[in-house]
Amino acid sequence: MPWVRVIPAEGAENDLKQAYEQVGVTEGSIGQPFDGLTGNRPVLLKLMEFTHAARFGPSALTRLQREMMATYVSALNHCLF
């Protein structure tokens, strides 16, 4: 649990509300890696944009290969994300 104020979807407004809607969250939080940035909307939105490009943008790797690598690294790091 982060020690910074986390704005849940229910309390989100304007561009933060759009960010929640963009990832399909209508209740609760946006997810561990992003929760701590809900109070800093410009940084959160840029990080989400970067993450989307890294995960789904053009690449020599297929989507399956990228997902497999992400899963493997998350398991190595004991990460829940």
Q: Which two tokens stand for residue 73?
A: 């690294």
Q: What does the pLDDT look like over 47-75, one tens digit per residue?
A: 888 888 888 889 999 989 998 998 999 89
Q: Which two tokens stand for residue 66?
A: 């990228």
pTM, full prediction: 0.63
Cα torsion through 55, 59, 65, 68, rounded to 10:
-30
CB atoms inside a 10 Å sphere around CB 19: 22
